[in-house]
Structure 1
Amino acid sequence: MTVSALTRPGERDRLVVKFSEVDWLFVLVLCLIAGAGALMLFSIAGSSWDPWAAQHVGRFTFCLVLMLALAMIDIRVWFALAYPIYGIGVLLLIAVEAVGDVRLGAQRWLSIGSFSFQPSEVMKLGIVLALARLYHGVSAERARLSWWLLIPALMIAVPVGLVAHQPDLGTAMLILLTGVAIVVMAGLSWKIIGAGVAAFLAIVPPFVLFVMHDYQRQRVLTFLDPESDPSGSGYHILQSMIALGSGGLLGKGYGLGSQSQLNFLPEKQTDFIFATLAEEFGFVGCISILILYAAAIFMALRTSYLSHSHFGRLAAAGVTATFTLYVLINGAMVMGLAPVVGVPMPMLSYGGTVMLTVMIGFGLVQSVRVHRYAEVTSGKGSFV
């Protein structure tokens, strides 16, 4: 498909042409990751599709169709909706503070009739779109070092503060790191990056001591010394590391993992499913699934590189950063290299909310790929 064919209005707007521009190898990689998740959920349920595997497959099928539908949306529509999505996300987070549901000591959900959702998931996409639009058309000098940087800093700080207050430290950290990643990729000066890292390291001790809730502080202390309370707060990490280590090179075999099958491993279907995979398929199984994740990240970043608009590049890179952070944080958490913060392994773990958020983000990435030659104005989102 030539550039001229893609840029002719009569050709570009045809649905069949747009579908041909979807990265189908990327779609295959996502299917393989979700398929591996279904196999693991089938195994830990005692070779049964209920209660997790069947729902996992159904949710992924729906999300995949949704991703392909979103890929057909012109990138300039995403550009026009960037600020409204961010604004709606902030308003929903404020609504959580006022009328949100309290569950397990946390106020994170909004309910509309029988339907409930976490507005913080909206912000994971909203922060990417808003910052990508903000930096679209900004000069390299302003993006590198300027008092103007207070604007993106405030845009990141508002949702991070609201989410952290719920409290949901894991999601707040994801939004913060995603926002910082976009600002860095937009061309932030290395001097500012160095100063920011130094300030972060200086803030961490007083934050842990005086700002964190008691249970959050206990997670950090448990991370530093999990054996101090092996049957209490350190139980999750210790059981996870036992599962990881016992898998060896090739694993114990499908359906033969003692830690997961005998329910020693907590949250085996969600946060710690990677430990389940390691126990049953060993080092080889872990490396195989990590290669699939690395392939998905590489292809999404390649899409970012191919975009002709700065908005498209930053939007695709921002979504990829969020996905990468999911993988890195969950992997580090399972291996005892980070505190337990409730971040699942995307598309491998059971759960519809994170899968929906990730696949909507990948719908944006594929929209950037399909419409990579589209010209995006820096005005009010008008179409060229």
Structure 2
Amino acid sequence: MSAVFDKPSLWQRAAPMFRGFDGPLAFAVFLLACAGLVTMYSSGYDNGARFYDHGRNMLIAGAIMFVVAQIPPQRLATFAVPLYTLGVALLIAVAIFGVTKKGARRWLNLGVTIQPSEILKIAMPLMLAWWFQKREGQLRPLDFLVGGVLLAVPAALIMRQPDLGTALLVLTAGLAVIFFAGLSWKLILPPVLLGLVAVTLVVAFEPRLCADGVRWAVLHDYQQQRICTLLDPTRDPLGKGFHIIQGMIAIGSGGVWGKGFMQGTQAHLDFVPERTTDFIFAAFAEEFGLLGNLLLIAGFVFLVLRGLMIALEAPTLFSRLLAGSITFMFFAYAFVNMGMVSGILPVVGVPLPFISYGGTAMVTLGMGIGILMSISKSKRLVQT
């Protein structure tokens, strides 16, 4: 009889919280986190606080991931409208009385300085997934138009700050939802082809378009300079082109095998700017070479493929759209960061997931992984 009244152990009470966690996804995140800690220790060794702060940020992101993973997807859907509304309201507040740093108005002082645009990285896919879930079975062209407006409003407010990197991530997450919701290829191909034509024309007429005194009406001056610098970094090798040139030198000097842990010269001698944040990939490539790059890329590819698999097997339209959008956001993070450091994309403020230093971005990443975990758990519960 006494056994009937025995209290369950702490592990027995905690076990349900861990049951159903996606092992392959957790393993991919663990490997990338380890790579981030090793790289941060090397690139930030002269600022020891960076390594410890990076580890602390990872622990915070892990805790957030664990908490979010316990929330069922149907419960996450109830946060969509309030979180989106809050995010847009805060962006409007930033535009009116936000804090300006280095020529950009991106922050809001509410006793604690916050960057509201980070909220939209999660709120945007939540909102669009909720919207298309509501319209399931009766989608019309007007519904895609409404989805486009819901995406365009915060994206325009973020671009106005200006913050092209964050706007790009929000757009990627939102467009992924619209695409997975069933947008016709007939509507997707024209803007893609138009973009390819525009890029070809810019490359072909670069000497004229980037000549001194020429201004592009559709972009800010600094955005125009970034594109022109990408096309020809040697135009200003000690100024605007310095980041790209030094990043490519660091990557190339790593060779096939790399110079070895803590042996990178370009990064440690301060030739690579922002070596612990946006340009940490250059520091990694210098020390671990082509082989290390391929392994790191393989880690991100595995994470993206696992995320797409979770989306494919998700039990509801909402969870499928949300998982696909979050996965594409991770792809955009990694692709844009590696692309800009390698000199194939303009320099924008996009960190490398789990590798770059940054508390706010790490929290967003933790929430994203937590959402994928939640959707994966819901699938397994449905199967059982």
Q: How far off is 1:49 after superposition?
A: 7.0
Question: Please, which of 180, 183, 186 is the counterpart of residue 185 of structure 1?
Answer: 180
Q: How far off is 1:137 after superposition?
A: 4.9
Structure 1: how far apart are the matches of 2:303 and 2:164? 26
Paired amino acid for 2:229: T
Paired amino acid for 2:191: G
Question: Please, which of 31, 42, 58 is the counterpart of residue 56 of structure 2?
Answer: 58
Deviations 1:31-55 (A, max 9, x none): 2212211111111234x67121111
Structure 2: how far apart are the matches of 1:100 and 1:180? 27
- Match runs of 1:86-235 below 5 Å: 86-113=84-111, 115-139=112-136, 142=139, 146-200=141-195, 209-235=216-242
Structure 1: how far apart are the matches of 2:263 and 2:143? 57
Question: Please, which of 349, 353, 363 is the counterpart of residue 356 of structure 2?
Answer: 349
Q: Is the 8 Å Cα contact of residues 98 and 107 (structure 2) preserved in structure 1?
A: yes
Residue number in structure 2 paired with 1:36: 35
Aligned to 2:108, the other structure's residue is in SS state: strand
Structure 2: how far apart are the matches of 1:119 and 1:200? 29
Deviations 1:316-374 (A, max 9, x none): 11111111100010111011000001111011001111111111111111111112267
Query: What is the TM-score of this pair, normalised by structure 2?
Result: 0.88
Paired amino acid for 1:147: L
Q: Is the 8 Å Cα contact of residues 249 and 283 (structure 1) preserved in structure 2?
A: yes
Q: Is the 8 Å Cα contact of residues 108 and 166 (structure 1) preserved in structure 2?
A: yes
Deviations 1:37-76 (A, max 9, x none): 1111111234x67121111111101211210111001211
Deviations 1:216-256 (A, max 9, x none): 11001000101111111100000000001000000011111
Task: Give identity over the alignment, percent.
Answer: 39
- Match runs of 1:236-315 below 5 Å: 236-315=243-322
Q: How far off is 1:196 after superposition?
A: 2.6
Aligned to 1:102, the other structure's residue is in SS state: strand
Unaligned runs of 5+ in 2: 1-12, 203-208, 210-214
Q: How far off is 1:272 after superposition?
A: 0.8
Q: How far off is 1:147 after superposition?
A: 3.1
Deviations 1:69-128 (A, max 9, x none): 110012111111111111111001001011210011100001122x21110000011110
Give the total of aligned pairs: 357
Question: Please, which of 347, 353, 375 is the counterpart of residue 368 of structure 1?
Answer: 375
Query: What is the TM-score of this pair, normalised by structure 1?
Result: 0.88
Deviations 1:194-224 (A, max 9, x none): 1232454577779x81132111110010001
Residue number in structure 2 paired with 1:75: 73
RMSD (Å), alpha carbons = 2.0
Unaligned runs of 5+ in 1: 1-13, 376-384
Structure 1: how far apart are the matches of 2:330 and 2:287? 25
Structure 2: how far apart are the matches of 1:138 and 1:263? 53
From the superposition, tell whether residues 79 and 175 of structure 1 become closer, same or farther in structure 2 (CA, over 3 Å).
same
Structure 2: how far apart are the matches of 1:248 and 1:141? 55
Q: Is the 8 Å Cα contact of residues 308 and 373 (structure 1) preserved in structure 2?
A: no
Q: How far off is 1:167 after superposition?
A: 0.5
Q: How far off is 1:148 after superposition?
A: 2.8
Structure 2: how far apart are the matches of 1:226 and 1:251? 25
Q: Is the 8 Å Cα contact of residues 18 and 370 (structure 1) preserved in structure 2?
A: no
Q: How far off is 1:141 after superposition?
A: 7.0
